[in-house]
Chains A and B, each alone.
Chain A
């Protein structure tokens, strides 16, 4: 009996913690349907009737769906490039002995510790020299060189891909490129998927770099568009509209999370064990 009560209390606490995780989002959803005046005068769990009004205020100011679409245009190619080229690089570093292999690996280790903002000024100067401002290229192409992902995949390949497999393929006359695509890729796919989903979330949430590089309204990614909330007196005078904007902005990533939570969970877990 005491055992059951204790267990019950534990479950209760776990659920309470789960609620704490979701409460801010619940408050957000409810407040998104209420008028600014209602929100400051008190709280209730009953949704209000101002959703339409808030919606109009928000979309009068900016088109969040355009921002979401732009974020897709940046995040998806960046993620695919990151996944493909990181695997390629990791495989190259893990299985081939060539001059400079160790140097490249050393540079990767070093750059994993470098704060991103260290290169911000130089990065922008470079982009303008190459006429890449307002282009998605500087947001997408650098994904080819993701030191963290390469590092992780290299370790994974070393531990899970037997050398004999590749050697056997060579004896059969398979080309190196063929081996990579037909033998290596399927084996490392789960690891790539987990890294890929994290890369996607990182790209999706990225704020500082797109904020500096993208100036055209119709090219702004979601977080950049969200930050322009501060520029609007119109929307700021209504808390309900702010809540609604935040709510709309997090829906896509929530969907991704629901669909890929398995990979996300295993990615985080993998980080712990691999170390």
Chain B
């Protein structure tokens, strides 16, 4: 008996070996840099050189700076427009493809096409759209103008990425253009995981397709919608590449599209405004916000699991 137990322990010791490479690399490349940033967030380090520990001053500054809050609001606002479009479109598509009456075909092809924009690097997407959407000379406005001309109407060109009224929405729409395919795939996976027997049983009971949708599909798809929305929020709070590469810093639209991550970049990596200590504090405040969202997420799903 005793011998066997020690043998199990011996087996279990293999766990250390299996996990060791991960732990070593993880400590070096993940934990150390994060701790280093934490340390820096309590200093007044600007660019390089010596820095003094200044306690929570940086944090106080983050929380009292209205531009930080504007950046947070911009981020959330862009995210909301994005998620409504993205999830709404995905939801409609899911309805169409899961409809028991129409039995639409071609899902395999459509979902690949819808997913396509998601795999392209943001650098390429940003260059592509900032060229296409140029106010005066971009192909988008030129096409719209020629359509207007066709009807003899006059088109007042919209400054898609240069005006603060539209820039945020433009970014949001591009963002949802990139991501709706992803959401659609997830919702569809949810629908397909529903046992077909439910549908058949319901059909035999004479339930109409709207009843089936409302009583079976919807309740089962709800948690997935929540999951998509919340993971998207966590990602959305870190939004950076698209607005950063598309909106010029001297543009009047900048203030309305600056995201938290761009705010961080301004103080972390931009010449003339580099204040590494402060940027580190911004990073941690953002982290705490994301943590809160994640905890709420876990709560929600734990709750679901208990039911």
A, B co-complexed: yes
In Å, the complex CA distance between A236 and B22 comes to: 44
- In whole angstroms, what is the CA distance A271 to B224 when docked? 10
Residues in chain A near residue B120, CB distance under 8 A? 205, 250, 253
Known: A122-B37, A205-B121, A226-B124. A264 touches B115 (CB 8 A): yes
Q: Which of B9-17, B51-59, B62-70 lies at the interface?
A: B9-17
A98 adjacent to B15 (CB under 8 Å): yes
A10 and B113 within 8 A (CB): no
Residues of A within 8 A of B137 (CB): 39-40, 239
> Is B228 part of the contact surface with A, judged by Cβ < 8 Å?
yes
Complex contact A11–B104 (CB within 8 A): yes
Question: Is A121 within 8 A of B33, CB to CB?
Answer: yes
Q: Given A88-B21, A92-B19, are A111 and B102 neighbors across the interface (CB < 8 Å)?
A: no
Cα(A180)–Cα(B245), bound, Å: 45
Task: For chain B, give the interface size range.
Answer: 35 or more
A135 to chain B, nearest CB (A): 13
Q: How large is the interface on A (under 10, 10 to 19, 20 to 34, 35 or more residues)?
A: 35 or more
Mask: chain B, 35-78; 1 = CB below 8 Å from A; 0 = not: 11100100000000000000000000000000000000000000
Interface of chain A: mostly helix, strand, loop or mixed? helix
Given contacts A117-B261, A264-B115, contact A126 B121 (CB under 8 A): no
Please state if B25 and A119 are interface contacts (CB–CB under 8 Å): no
**Interface-facing stretch out of A55-63, A136-144, A185-193:** A136-144
Contact of B36 among A24, A40, A125, A243 (CB under 8 A): A125
Contact at A96–B291, with CB atoms within 8 Å? no
Q: Does B143 contact A (CB under 8 A)?
A: yes
B199 at the interface (CB under 8 A from A): no
Interface residues of A in 4-50 (CB under 8 A from B): 6-7, 10-11, 14, 17-18, 20-22, 24, 27-28, 31, 39-40, 42-43
**A98-B12, A118-B283 are known contacts; what are 6 more A-B pairs with Cβ within 8 Å?**
A21-B113, A97-B12, A104-B23, A113-B294, A142-B29, A268-B185
